[in-house]
């Protein structure tokens, strides 16, 4: 069987022999299924053999799994921007979080942190703040903006 997408429908085509006069295969459209709900059109199931029904069910299951995977990947890729949106919404005062919501959110963040660490992406640590203005031992310090300029030092 073949499956051909046409807009919001997937046509189910079946091979029904060979026409010697026309020298080509006889391919019949048995019916169609909806792209998103996977509901078959009327009469499709009755027109198929047991083997073709099994193949159709296998195709539908494969498509459902692929759609689920696409949805999960999209959710994962957009997670950072969604978290920023939630933070902005809370900061703006448009959303008043409840205790239950906060507990669920912190639990989700913990689960995300654990999964990221397991995948090899540990939490980024802040670099220790080093005094950039402090002179190294044995080096004369230069007052860049720290002390007012005196007329003798300006040249």
Instruction: List the domain boundaries for the chain.
Output: 1-117
Give dist(CA 111, CA 154) in Å, integer. 60
Distance from chain centroid for Cα 145: 49
Average pLDDT, the chain: 87
Determine what percent of the chain is predicted with pLDDT higher than 90.
69
Residue 129 pLDDT class (50, 70, 90 cuts): low
Pairwise pLDDT comparison (1 vs 151), residue with the higher score: 1
- CB 35 within 8 Å of CB 9: yes
Give the CA angle between residues 83, 84, 85 to the nearest 5°: 90
Q: What confidence tens digit (pLDDT) does each residue in 69-108 have? A: 999 999 999 999 999 999 999 999 999 999 999 999 999 9
């Amino acid at each position: 069987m073949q499956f051909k997408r046409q807009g919001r429908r997937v046509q189910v085509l079946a091979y029904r022999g060979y026409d010697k006069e026309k020298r080509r295969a006889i391919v019949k459209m048995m019916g169609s299924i909806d792209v998103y709900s996977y509901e078959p059109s009327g009469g499709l199931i009755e027109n198929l053999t047991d083997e073709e029904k099994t193949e159709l069910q296998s195709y539908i299951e494969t498509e459902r799994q692929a759609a689920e995977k696409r949805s999960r990947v999209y959710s994962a890729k957009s997670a950072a921007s969604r978290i920023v949106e939630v933070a902005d919404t809370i900061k703006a005062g448009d959303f008043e979080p409840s205790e239950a919501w906060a507990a669920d959110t912190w639990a989700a963040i913990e689960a995300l942190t654990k999964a990221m660490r397991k995948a090899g992406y540990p939490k980024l640590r802040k670099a220790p703040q080093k005094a950039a203005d402090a002179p190294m031992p044995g080096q004369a310090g230069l007052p860049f903006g720290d002390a007012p300029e005196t007329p003798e030092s300006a040249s």
